[in-house]
Amino acid sequence: MLRIAAAAGWLAVSLVAGAQGKQAGKEPIKVGALLAVTGPASFLGAPEARTLELLVAELNAKGGAGGHRIDLVVKDTGGNPEKAVSFARQLIDEEKVFAIIGPATSGETLAVKGIAQESGTLLLSCAAAEVIVNPVASHVFKVAPKDSFAAEMIFRRMKKMKISRIGLLSSNTGFGKAGKEQVEKLAPAHGIEIAASEVYDKAATDLTAEVTKLKAAKVQAILNWSIEPAQAIVIKNARQMGLEVPIFQSHGFANVQYAKAAGAAAEGVMFPASRIVVADALAATDKQKPVVVAYKKAYEGKYGEDVSTFGGHAHDALGILARAVQEAGADREKVRSAIENMKGYVGTAGVFNFSPADHTGLAIDAFEMITVKGGKFVVLGE
């Protein structure tokens, strides 16, 4: 008797669920997100997670991607590659997700690249290091501009300023290491000598000794490559020591909170970043303007904090995935080739043109040189 009742109940539930499924149109798509919501890389992961929550709700309210509702599962990796690996396995084996957005950092992405590729799960990384997509893995994409382009932009500016002898600082993370490699590889071609190169711990609390070493090497400029709060500490320590040389940062500096944290010391710091950090100053004719302004308005309205390029990466990853699903349906292999052949997707980081050989899709013009003026990000200009 009990069994019959249970069976009847189950039948009723499945009928209702079926009816609901029909109402929504097609079966939902489960998307996992592996993001450093807390920990030293939370400047990246936290706005990314908030962006996904905001945009997935918005998308579902409009009927989902091509009629498929998106079910978002966010896992907080704390910026730790080991945790990223175990959460990636959980998302793939237990949650059976269609695609993964993230991780936020390069080190974590490199740790999960192989797992995603082997299981045939789409991975849309929000991290920057070139090695994520070089060599190309068929199921791994990234939406952040390459670090080699960032280094290129910085060197062009240094050349213009007649700087030929620099000191390089980087943190001991995947992002720092990959950036250091690119800088060291590209510097000779631009006639730039790296007179001193120091690697510091990602949790560093004071970097006076490292900066003293650069001072001793008589560098004409400092280039720092990291994503942690240490990049704000570096500029404070340099200025406190009376080292008044120009300071360049990587695109990891593109969260205005860093500039605020360094206060007066941040004035004049130069770095490459995508146009979203100067959204309001863009020309009305700029292709990206409507996209970045709409995202900025929605994000700042809901969370009351400034947008950063990092939240923008999550925006672009979700947007690219949604467009591919709309074009190709819920078949993972078809979606994969839709992303690989996608042209002209206008995102916050730039205009994406993917190809089988290029899983980043962004060109060097995705970057603009930005500087800090009065605690705000502005275009550096000529």
Partner 1 sequence: MAVELALQYLVAGLTYGTIYAVVGVGFNIIYNATGIINFAQGEFVMLGGMMAVTLHRLVPLPLAIAGAVLFTMVVGAALEVTFIRWLDRPSVLRMIIITIGISILVREGALLAWGEQVRALPYFSGDEVSSLSYGGVHVSPQVLWSLGALLVIVAFLWVFFQRTPIGRQMRACAANREAAALCGVPTRNLVTLSFVLSAGIGALAGCVVSPITYTSYGVGAGLAIKGFTVAILGGLGNSPGAVAGGFVVGVLEAFSVSLLPAAYKDAISVAILLAILFARPSGLFAPREVTRLQRAG
Q: How far is CA 371 from CA 183, 258, 380, in A?
A: 20, 12, 5
User: From edge to edge, which strands make up the β-sheet containing 122-125?
Assistant: 68-76, 26-35, 99-101, 122-125, 140-142
Neighbouring residues of 329: CB distance < 8 A, sequence distance ≥ 6: 66, 335
Among 93, 201, 331, 333, binds partner 1 (CB under 8 A): 201
Instruction: Tell me if 24 contacts partner 1 by CB under 8 A.
Output: no
The distance of closest approach from Cβ of residue 44 to partner 1 in the complex, given in angstroms and rounded to an integer, is: 11
Q: E-assigned strands of 177-233?
A: 193-200, 221-225
Inter-residue contact 166 to 270 (CB < 8 Å): no
Instruction: Tell me if 195 contacts partner 1 by CB under 8 A.
Output: no
Among 213, 289, 302, 373, binds partner 1 (CB under 8 A): 213
Radius of gyration of the chain, Cα coordinates, nearest whole angstrom: 22
* 180: nearest Cα among 168, 167, 166: 168
The distance of closest approach from Cβ of residue 356 to partner 1 in the complex, given in angstroms and rounded to an integer, is: 38
- Please list every residue from 226 through 265 that binds partner 1, using CB under 8 A: 229, 232-233, 236, 239-242, 257, 261-265
Number of residues that bind partner 1 (CB under 8 A): 37
Residue 55 or 196: the one with the smaller Cβ distance to partner 1 is 196
Inter-residue contact 204 to 233 (CB < 8 Å): yes
Instruction: Give the separation between CA 177 and CA 173, rounded to whole angstroms.
Output: 6
Stretch that binds partner 1, among 17-25, 143-151, 180-188, 210-218 (CB under 8 A): 210-218
Instruction: Tell me if 53 contacts partner 1 by CB under 8 A.
Output: no
Instruction: Give the separation between CA 7 and CA 15, rounded to whole angstroms.
Output: 12
Stretch that binds partner 1, among 17-25, 33-41, 116-124, 126-134 (CB under 8 A): 33-41
Q: Which amino acid is at 17?
A: A
Please give the torsion angle defined by the CA atoms of residues 114, 152, 338 and 132, in that order, rounded to the nearest 10 degrees: 0
Among 16, 17, 209, 281, binds partner 1 (CB under 8 A): 209
The distance of closest approach from Cβ of residue 345 to partner 1 in the complex, given in angstroms and rounded to an integer, is: 30
Residue 50 or 69: the one with the smaller Cβ distance to partner 1 is 50
The distance of closest approach from Cβ of residue 267 to partner 1 in the complex, given in angstroms and rounded to an integer, is: 8
Instruction: Tell me if 39 contacts partner 1 by CB under 8 A.
Output: yes
Exposure on the CB side of residue 52, measured as CA atoms within 13 A: 31
Among 11, 57, 203, 294, binds partner 1 (CB under 8 A): 203
Cis omega before residue 103 (within 30°)? yes
The distance of closest approach from Cβ of residue 114 to partner 1 in the complex, given in angstroms and rounded to an integer, is: 26
Stretch that binds partner 1, among 57-65, 94-102, 201-209, 309-317 (CB under 8 A): 201-209
Among 60, 134, 212, 326, binds partner 1 (CB under 8 A): 212
Residue 216 or 281: the one with the smaller Cβ distance to partner 1 is 216
DSSP string, 91-107: IIIIS--SEEE--SSHH
Residue 50 or 157: the one with the smaller Cβ distance to partner 1 is 50
The distance of closest approach from Cβ of residue 175 to partner 1 in the complex, given in angstroms and rounded to an integer, is: 16
DSSP string, 269-302: -EEEE-GGGGGGGS-TT-TTHHHHHHHHHHHHHH
Instruction: Tell me if 43 contacts partner 1 by CB under 8 A.
Output: yes
Q: Could you list the residues that contact partner 1 (CB under 8 A)?
A: 37-40, 42-43, 46, 172, 198-201, 203, 205-206, 208-210, 212-213, 215-216, 229, 232-233, 236, 239-242, 257, 261-266
